[in-house]
Amino acid sequence: MKVSSELLRKVLGFIFGIKHFALIAALVFFAIISVALFLIFQNAQIMLDRINTDFNQMQLVLANQAAIQIDSDLSAISKELEILERHIVPMTGITIESSLRALIERTNSKGVLAAGIINSDNRLQHLIDPQDIIESMPPDNFNYARITPHPDLTLSPLTLIKDKDGKTIIVACFYLPVVLPGNEQGVLFSVLDIPRLVKNVTEKIRSGKTGYAWVMDKTGMFLYHPEGDFIGKNAFTARQEREPYISFAAINEIMKDKMLKGQEGIGTYESGWHRGIEGHITKLIAYTPVRSAILGKDDVWSVAVAAPTTEVAEAVHGVYMRHLAAEGAIIAGMFIFGILIVLYQFSLSETLKQQVSEKEKYILSILGNSLDAIVFIDTENRIKVWNRGAEKIFGYTAEEMLGNTFHRIIPPDIDADKELNSIADEVMDKGYIRHYLAKRITKDGKRITIDLSRTLIKDEDGNVIGSTAIIKDVSEKMEFESRIYNTEKLASIGNLAAGVAHEINNPLAVILGFADLLKEKFDRDSREYGDLVTIEENANNAKKIVENLLGFARVTEGMADIFDVVDSIDTVTTIVKNTLITSKVELKTEIPENLPTICGDSREFQQVIFNLINNAMAAMENGGGILTISCYEKNNWVYINVKDTGTGIPERIKRRIFDPFFTTKEVGKGTGLGLSLCYGIVNKHGGRLTFKSISAEDFPNRPSGSTFIVSFPVAEQPSFSGEEKDDSRNIGHR
C-alpha cells in the first residue's frame, strides 16, 4: 500500500512539474470543449434535418389526401352527368331542365355553376345558368365540343373569364355525348369553377400552425392560392412580380422539373412572405400530382403543401441554446469537468427523446384531426393509427381498435380473412389499392359501404413498415344509385303492364261487341238476355282492370281541380267501412264541416287515403284496433292525419319506407309501391307526406302506432261578381 501511494505521488509530481503545464492543460481543455461544441452543433443540425424531413413527409400525406379528394370530387361530378345521360332520352324539355337544375343543386358545392345541352347544330338547346356565367364565356367556347369529338366524358381546357361581378375565375367544361329525344345527337355539359373546386379541398389544410396548400395546372397557372390575387396567374412570374429582389430559382426548378411532370416529392425553397409576414423566409414544400382518369395523363394538376422552417426550427433552437448553456457551466466548473460531462450527455439524451416524442405527438395530432378516416396498419395487419374520422365513420374509439385487426368491422356474412388477405396482397404487389368498395359494419350494427384507398409505406432503406388507408363512407352515394336502378325497374314493369293490357283489350272489345249484338236478338225478359248482360258486366270489369294497368304504365299529370276534402274522405270511408268491420278495426273521424277546399285530382287524393287506410289495417291485422282520421286547417294548409294503433314502424327501416319496392310484408302480400306512389302523388300536387311512429320493437313498454300526415295548401278561390256568385259552388265539377 505504501509503495502504491509513493508511485502515485511521483507520477503527479512529474505531471505538475512539466513546464507550461497550465497552458497545455488549458489548450487540451479548450480543444475538448471545441470538439464537444462541434458535436453539439452537428447533433442539433442532424436533429433539425430529421425533423424537417419528417415534417415534410407529413405535408406529403396532406397533399396526397387533398389530391385524392380533388379526384373524388371530379369523379362525383362526372358520375352525376353519366347518370343524367342514361335517363335523358325519354325526358321532355321541362323534365330535362328540371334534371339539369337538380344536378346543379347537388354539385354546386363542388363548383358546378351551370349545365345544359348543345344540339347537333352546336346551339344551346337547354341551359340552367343561375349565375349568368355563360354570358361571360367566349362565344366559341362550346366549339370545343364539336371540334373535339370523343365517345366518353371529357374535360375542356381551362379558361379565364370574368363573372358578372367583374371577378376573374377559371372555368372548364365537362362534355358528354348524349342521344336526345328524337334520336338527335347532342352534348351534355356542365361549367365548373375550378378554383372553387380545389378551394373546397385545400382551403382548410394547415401544415403546422401556419402552413397552407396551393394548386397549379400543367401550364404553371395557380388554380388556388391563399394569396387570392395569384389565382389565374402564372406561378413562375407572379412571385417575381411581387418580390423582384428575391431569387425564386429553387421553387421554379421544383415546379418545372418535378411538379409539371407529375412527380411527387419534398424540398425547400426561399420566399419573400408568408401569411402577411414580409421578409426572407425559407419554406418546406411537399407536392404530389392529382391522379385522375378525368384529367388524362397529359393534363397535370399538382397539389403543394408549404410551411416555413420556423414551424420546426424553434423547438430545435431551444435545445441548441440549452446545450450552449451547459457548455458554459462546464467551462465555469473545470474542477468537476467529468461529472458535468456525464450530466450533460444525460441531459442531451433526455432532451432529444423529449423532442422526438413531441414530434410524434404533433404528427399524430395532424392525422387524428383529419376529416377523412386515416388508418395506419403494420406488416401484421394490426392497426397502429386510428384517427377521429375513423371513429366517426365506424363508431369505435382508438382505444378499442389500436393493436387489433379489421375483423370486428367486417360483417359476419363475409369471409374476413379472405378479403383482408386479398387487399393486403394487392397492396404488396402494386404498392397501392384505390377506390376499393367494400361492406363494413359499425359499432351500432349499421351496415355501410366504404371507399378504401390504401398505400404501401416504406422506410428510408426501402423496407416495408406498413400501409396507410384512407376510408370514405359512400353509403348515401350507393343508395342513390340503387334508387335510380329501382326507378328503371319500375319503368320496365310499367312497360310490361302496358303491353299485357294492350293484348287483353282487343279480345275484350270483341266480347263486348258481340254481346251487344246478341242482346238485340233476345227479349229483355229472357234468360239469354240476362246471361248476355252478365257477360257484358264481367267484360267491363275486366276492362276496368286493364285501364288500371294502363294507368300504372304511363305517367299522368292528373286532373288539376278544386275539390272538397270532406267529400273525398267520406267516399273512401264508405267503400272500406265493411272491410274495417270485418278486420275488427274501429273507425273514428274528426273532420270539421267548414274545412277549406284544396287543389288537385280528387281521384288521386282518394287513392292516397285509401292506401294509407290499407297500410293501417295491415299494421293492425293481428288483433284489430282503432283507426282515426282527423283533419284541420292551419296557416293556409289543410292537414289530414291517418292514425292507427298497430305495431308501428321500427327505427331501422323508417328512412326506407317511401322507397319503391320496399315492403315488410310476406312474398305475395305486397309490392312495396303503395307508399312510394302516395309520396309521388302528394308531391306532384305541391303537398307534403310525413309520418311519426312508435314501434313495439323499439319501445315494448309504450303504446305503439303510426300517424301519417298528408298536407296540402288551401286552394285559391276565384272571385265572382253578380250572378256568377250563385254558381261558385260548382267549380271543379264542370
Residue-wise pLDDT tens digits, 387-404: 888 888 888 988 888 988
* pLDDT at res. 93: 67
Residues 487 and 467 in one domain: no
Asked if pLDDT for residue 706 goes beyond 90, the answer is: yes
Asked if pLDDT for residue 378 goes beyond 70, the answer is: yes
* pLDDT at res. 705: 92
**Are the CB atoms for 271 and 265 separated by under 8 Å?**
no
**Rounded Cα–Cα distance for residues 466 and 457 (Å):** 5
More confident residue, 440 or 727: 440
Q: Please, which pLDDT band fits residue 297 given cuts at 50, 70 and 90?
A: confident
User: 499: left (phi > 0), else alpha (psi -120 to 50), else beta?
Assistant: alpha
Q: How many domains does the chain contain in total?
A: 4
Report the CATH number at residue 572. 3.30.565.10
* pLDDT at res. 673: 65
Count of alpha carbons within 13 angstroms of residue 103, beta-carbon side: 32
More confident residue, 375 or 335: 375
* pLDDT at res. 14: 56
Residues 417 and 540 in one domain: no
**Are the CB atoms for 423 and 467 separated by under 8 Å?**
no
Specify if 719 maps to a domain. Answer: no
Contacts of 18 (CB under 8 A, 6+ apart): 24
Report the CATH number at residue 350. 3.30.450.20
Mean pLDDT of 430-437: 89
Range of the domain at 420: 370-473
More confident residue, 558 or 713: 713
Q: Which helix (H) or strand (E) holds 151?
A: none
Q: Most confidently modeled of 264-278, 537-551, 698-712?
A: 698-712
Asked if pLDDT for residue 624 goes beyond 90, the answer is: no
Average pLDDT, the chain: 79
Residues 356 and 375 in one domain: no
* pLDDT at res. 552: 47
**Rounded Cα–Cα distance for residues 727 and 587 (Å):** 35
Which burial class, exposed, middle or buried, applies to 148 when counting CB atoms under 10 A from its CB (0-12, 13-18, 19+)?
A: exposed
**Rounded Cα–Cα distance for residues 715 and 561 (Å):** 9
In the beta sheet, which residues pair with residue 705? 694
Model pLDDT for residues 147-186, shown as the tens digit of each residue:
455 567 788 888 888 877 778 889 988 888 888 777 778 8
Nearest Cα neighbor of 57 from 312, 267, 254 is: 267
- In this structure, the strands spanning 432-441 and 447-458 are antiparallel
Residues 620 and 673 in one domain: yes
Specify if 727 maps to a domain. Answer: no
Asked if pLDDT for residue 345 goes beyond 70, the answer is: no
Asked if pLDDT for residue 726 goes beyond 50, the answer is: no
Residues 341 and 388 in one domain: no
**Are the CB atoms for 64 and 287 separated by under 8 Å?**
no
Residues 453 and 593 in one domain: no
Predicted TM-score (pTM) of this structure: 0.42
* pLDDT at res. 656: 76
Domain termination site, one of 532, 553, 574: 553
**Rounded Cα–Cα distance for residues 361 and 350 (Å):** 16
Residues 108 and 7 in one domain: yes
Specify if 731 maps to a domain. Answer: no
Mean pLDDT of 339-364: 64
Residues 469 and 497 in one domain: no
Model pLDDT for residues 88-108, shown as the tens digit of each residue:
766 666 788 888 888 889 899
Report the CATH number at residue 488. 1.10.287
Specify if 126 maps to a domain. Answer: yes
Under DSSP, the state recorded for 371 is S
Domain termination site, one of 533, 553, 573: 553
**Rounded Cα–Cα distance for residues 393 and 452 (Å):** 13
Cell triple for 56: 415534410
Q: Please, which pLDDT band fits residue 346 given cuts at 50, 70 and 90?
A: low
Specify if 33 maps to a domain. Answer: yes
Share of the chain above pLDDT 90, in %: 12
* pLDDT at res. 187: 86
Asked if pLDDT for residue 278 goes beyond 60, the answer is: yes
Helix axes 21-86, 194-202, angle to 10 degrees: 130
Asked if pLDDT for residue 285 goes beyond 60, the answer is: yes
Share of the chain above pLDDT 70, in %: 75
Q: Please, which pLDDT band fits residue 725 given cuts at 50, 70 and 90?
A: very low
Q: Please, which pLDDT band fits residue 239 given cuts at 50, 70 and 90?
A: confident
Model pLDDT for residues 446-475, shown as the tens digit of each residue:
888 888 899 999 888 888 888 988 988 887
Specify if 732 maps to a domain. Answer: no
Asked if pLDDT for residue 733 goes beyond 50, the answer is: no
Residues 206 and 272 in one domain: yes
Q: Please, which pLDDT band fits residue 250 given cuts at 50, 70 and 90?
A: confident
Model pLDDT for residues 643-701, shown as the tens digit of each residue:
999 988 888 888 778 776 667 666 545 556 677 778 878 888 888 989 999 988 888 88
Residues 197 and 248 in one domain: yes
Q: Please, which pLDDT band fits residue 286 given cuts at 50, 70 and 90?
A: very high
Residues 272 and 148 in one domain: yes
Residues 655 and 531 in one domain: no
Does residue 243 sit in helix, strand or coil? coil
